[in-house]
Amino acid sequence: MCGIVGYIGYREAYPIVIKGLKRLEYRGYDSAGVMLYDGNDIKLSKTKGKVVDLEAKALKEISTNGTIGIGHTRWATHGVPNDVNSHPHVSNSGDLVIIHNGIIENYAPLKVELIKRGYVFHSDTDTEVLVNLIEEVQKKENLKLGKAVQVALNQVFGAYAIAVFDKKNPDEIVVARLGSPLAIGIGEGEYFIASDASPFIEYTSNAVYLEDGEMANIRLHKPMKIRKIKDDSLVDPYIQELQMNLEQIEKGGYDHFMLKEIFEQPDVITDTYRGRLHANEGIIQMSGVEDNLEKFLNAERIIIVACGTSWHAGLVAEYILEEFTRIPVEVEYASEFRYRNPIINSKDVVIAISQSGETADTMAAIKLAKEKGAFVYGVCNVVGSSISRETHAGSHTHAGPEIGVASTKAFTTQITVLIMMALRLAKAKGTLSKTDFHRYLQELEIIPEKVKEALETNDKAKEIATIFKNSHNCLYLGRGYNFPVALEGALKLKEISYIHAEGYPAAEMKHGPIALIDERMPVIVIAPKQGHYDKIVSNIQEIKSRSGIIIAVVTKGDTQVRGLADHIIEIPETSDALSPLITTIPLQLLSYHIAVLRGCNVDQPRNLAKSVTVE
């Protein structure tokens, strides 16, 4: 969702802000804007559309010099996407300029109050209310910007990451966060502000991630001061050394981030298990699990909370954890869990899965589970994210930055972490035979090779994509471990190609969806040799008898399904439990190619945001 970038220092701010906004495009947005300060004047340009549209407009409208700047990509919540509603927003006096990611929930009564005091509003946004509230506080109490921001924020409810500039005191930017991420890059004589570290990675590897409820005064040539918004107490900045590099966040020769990320999977799965999996020694070592082993072993239940693709990884984990550890597992949509007064107690372990570590519903589910006494474990990709800090303990997935809105490598690395967790717990509980335990370790170690082999289906996926690119609907079927993969395959297709797709457990077909089958309905069936092969062959026959078109993902050398299917995609053999790591690959490729052939914006699909930081 909305992206924030800011710069204060000695360089020209405009190119830094624009490049930064481009790096944040993956978050999803519908408009963009920039404010520059050149020592005399505030210069503002904003537009509905993409950052390239902003560049074109800004170059016509303003001179782009100035060493202080803030920029924003907006994902509309309050007010339609248009030029006026785009950020930055300026206060009535013209002195204060703000960019904001989040929602001010009580903006309506505040707006009424401000209108009574003579304020005029030009946009429909909650953000314009906030900047005028800050101005009102500043005027009424004769406060400096930092103090005025603090007083104003104590009057609002909701979520925010903000950066505010005051023309009257132009050597500082004030930032604050509650519920939306904000990172500050610290250079020599310069500071950077951004929703994540990607906009400033080439300038500095030192960053401070603001915690919820904190604000910072960022002043030229002065050390940064961080304080709590509520009680004004000072906080020691915790400066982190960033682990990402520039290459990781660029396309590296691929046409799209999504394709690059699909092809990165062999490497990132290796990164995920590196130092944790020691197949020859028969050891799995995950510090978060190790330090809390008793909590897991005494758990009466594991509850997994997540959204979207991460929820699908949670479903795969349910099958694996129950089979390997015999601990009962439930998987919940975080958005449902948080509002249904769930029964949880201190004997429950809650696992929160999130690529971004910023998903608002998952975050709320974690807070609820903690309040009810559960031990909460995070499986996150983004180091330093809100969720990885809010959970009691956790494991990072080490997938590297995932920029494409459609999650790919996050899914397979989440599953890798959860498989290792299940194996470690099974060893401690003695619920897997020694032979099986060692077999799984050996097999997991060579999974990256098999993923590589599965990536060789790229051409085949493209060929099939060409045939089905104009379909209006698609069904995805799988059983057991591959039922969640069917859901994930359908989600990938609908989110990037806008083709309606549904995933089902194959046997559910006859309880309704089979009525949809006709000669125009492509049915993608995940039918590897292991698992419920015979059963799924019967399901394929049922579809065939009703003239459905079958695209089957099968184990190399399969003859039976080959005889029934219209198209087959062959993948290497694996055990049933590890098969989702392989079967998902051709489905990612298929969605990718269909979306490209349909001319869709693969990396930034319409209406979607990479991290959903509002509920």
Active-site option among 57, 111, 492, 610 = 610
Query: If binding is defined by CB under 6 A, does position 591 make contact with ligand M6R?
Result: no
Angle between helices 447-455 and 580-597 in degrees, nearest 10: 30
Rounded to 5 degrees, φ, ψ at 441 are: -60, -45
Neighbours of 156 (CB within 10 A): 20
Q: Which of 435, 423, 425 is nearest to 273 (CA)?
A: 423
> How near is the Cβ of 388 to ligand M6R at its closest, in Å?
11
Stretch that binds ligand M6R, among 80-88, 164-172, 400-408, 556-564 (CB under 6 A): 400-408
Among 45, 359, 413, 574, binds ligand M6R (CB under 6 A): 359
User: Does residue 406 bind ligand M6R (CB under 6 A)?
Assistant: yes
Strands 522-527 and 549-555, bridge-based pairing? parallel
Over the range 180-215, which residues count as b (16 or more CB within 10 Å of their CB) and which as e? Answer: bbbbbbbbeebbbbbbbbbbbbebbbbbbbbbbbbb
- Asked if 405 interacts with ligand M6R (CB under 6 A), we say yes
How far apart, in whole angstroms, are the C-alpha atoms of residue 254 and residue 522? 28
Residues 195, 354, 412, 458: which binds ligand M6R (CB under 6 A)? Answer: 354
- Shortest Cβ contact with ligand M6R: which residue? 308
For residue 608, CA distances in Å to 72, 74, 495, 598 come to 17, 12, 8, 18
| Stretch binding ligand M6R (CB under 6 A), from 12-20, 163-171, 399-407, 558-566 | 399-407
Piece of the chain touching ligand M6R by CB under 6 A; list 240-248, 255-263, 348-356, 366-374:
348-356
- Whole-angstrom Cα distance, residue 280 to residue 41? 66
CA dihedral (120, 126, 132, 137) in degrees, to 10, reads 140
Choice from 158, 308, 505, 531 touching ligand M6R (CB under 6 A) = 308
What is the per-residue binding string for ligand M6R in 473-512, x denoting contact by CB under 6 A? ------------------x---x-----------------
Least separation in angstroms between residue 387's CB and ligand M6R is 8
Tell which one of 265, 310, 412, 591 touches ligand M6R (CB under 6 A). 310
CB 614 within 8 A of CB 102: yes
Assess whether 19 carries a catalytic annotation. no
Residue closer to ligand M6R by CB (options 191, 476) is: 476
Q: Is the peptide bond before 572 cis (omega within 30 degrees of 0)?
A: no
- Return the range that interacts with ligand M6R (CB under 6 A); candidates 12-20, 193-201, 317-325, 351-359: 351-359
Considering the rule CB under 6 A, would residue 101 count as an interface residue with ligand M6R?
Answer: no
Helix axes 434-445, 447-455, angle to 10 degrees: 50
Q: How far apart are CA 163 and CA 210, in angstroms?
A: 12
Q: Which of 150, 588, 611, 613 is in the footprint of ligand M6R by CB under 6 A? A: 611
Contact between 307 and ligand M6R per CB under 6 A: yes
Let me know if 600 is a catalytic residue: no
Residue 362 contacts ligand M6R per CB under 6 A: yes
Give min distance, CB of 292 to ligand M6R, in A: 22
In the block, tokens 């010099």 appear at 65
Nearest CA-CA partner of 92 in 112, 118, 126, 74: 118
Active site amino acids: 2, 610
Q: Interface residues with ligand M6R (CB under 6 A)?
A: 307-310, 354-356, 359, 362, 405-407, 491, 495, 608, 611-612
